[in-house]
Amino acid sequence: MRQDRCFAFLDLCGFSAYTEANGDEEAVSVLSMMRSVVRRAADRRGVRVMKWLGDGVMLTSGDRGAIAAATLEIRHHLGGACPLPVRTGICRGGVIIFDGDDYVGAVINVAARLCDRAEPGQVLMAEHPDATVPPWATIEPYGRVEVPGIRQELTVNEIDVRRTPGRAPVVDPVCGLPIDPTVAVAPPGEDDERLRCFCSAGCAEEWARARRARHVHRVA
C-alpha cells in the first residue's frame, strides 16, 4: 500500500572526531542527550522515531509541517546543550509500506542525501506541495540539487525559525522555542497579551491544562 509521508534524517556533525578526542563515555553521554531531546520533540509534534542510526536518527510523520516543527525544536535544544551541531535533511512523497512497519521509496534516500549535504545547523527540505512549515518558521530557497539515484535535479529549500528585525522573540514555556511575537498564539479564551507566547495551539492547550490541574490541586 502506498502512502504520502514526510521523512527526516538528523545527525550530529563531527561525532567520530569528538569520540576520538573525548573518549567513549563522553560520546555516550552526548548520544543520550541527543536521543532524549529527539524523543521529547517527536512526542510533542506527533512524529515517529523510525530508527536510531548511531549518531543520528530517522523520523517520519504524515502530518503537514510536523517534521519541520520537530527538527527545528531538536536543533534549538541541542544547540543550547550539546557540544556538537546537528544537521537535517527532509523530504516528502509517496512510499510503499513494507512488512507492516517499514517504508520503501526514493523520498527516504533524498532525505538522507540532503542530511549529508547540509552544513552544521542547517535544515534542508526538498520542495513539495505538502511539505509545509509552521507559522513560526520560514522557507528560503537553497537551490537546485542533484541527488544520486534521482534522474532530475530537485528544488531544495532551507527552513529556519522566523525572526522579525527589531522584535525580540518570546519563549514558549512548553516547548522552549523562541517564537516571533508576530505569530505567537495565546491559550483559548485568554485575552492577556503576555500570554501570546506559544508556538502553536497544541503548546497553548498543554499549558492551559497544566494550569487548570494546578488550580484544582490547590483547591483540593
pTM: predicted TM-score of the whole model, two decimal places: 0.91
Distance, in Å, from the CA atom of 36 to the CA atom of 168, rounded to the nearest integer, reads 28
Q: Please, how many CA atoms are within 13 Å of residue 38, restricted to the half-sphere of its CB?
A: 26
> Among candidates 157, 156, 161, which has minimal Cα distance to 172?
161
How many Cα atoms within 13 Å fall on the side-chain side of residue 4?
Answer: 7
Buried b / exposed e across 40-49, counting CB within 10 Å, b at 16+?
bbbebbebeb
Is 96 in contact with 2 (CB distance < 8 Å)?
yes
Phi–psi pair at 55, nearest 5 degrees: -90, 20
Mean local confidence (pLDDT), 37-41:
96
In the predicted model, is pLDDT for residue 209 greater than 90?
A: no
Instruction: Report pLDDT digits (tens) over 161-201.
Output: 999 999 999 999 999 999 999 999 999 888 888 899 999 99
pLDDT in tens, 64-93: 899 999 999 999 999 988 999 999 999 999
Nearest 5°: the CA angle 208, 46, 184 is 45
**Class of 2-161 in CATH:** alpha beta
CB-based contact 117:125 (threshold 8 Å): no
How many angstroms separate the CA atoms of 73 and 53, rounded?
A: 19
Q: Where in the chain is the domain with CATH 3.30.70.1230?
A: 2-161
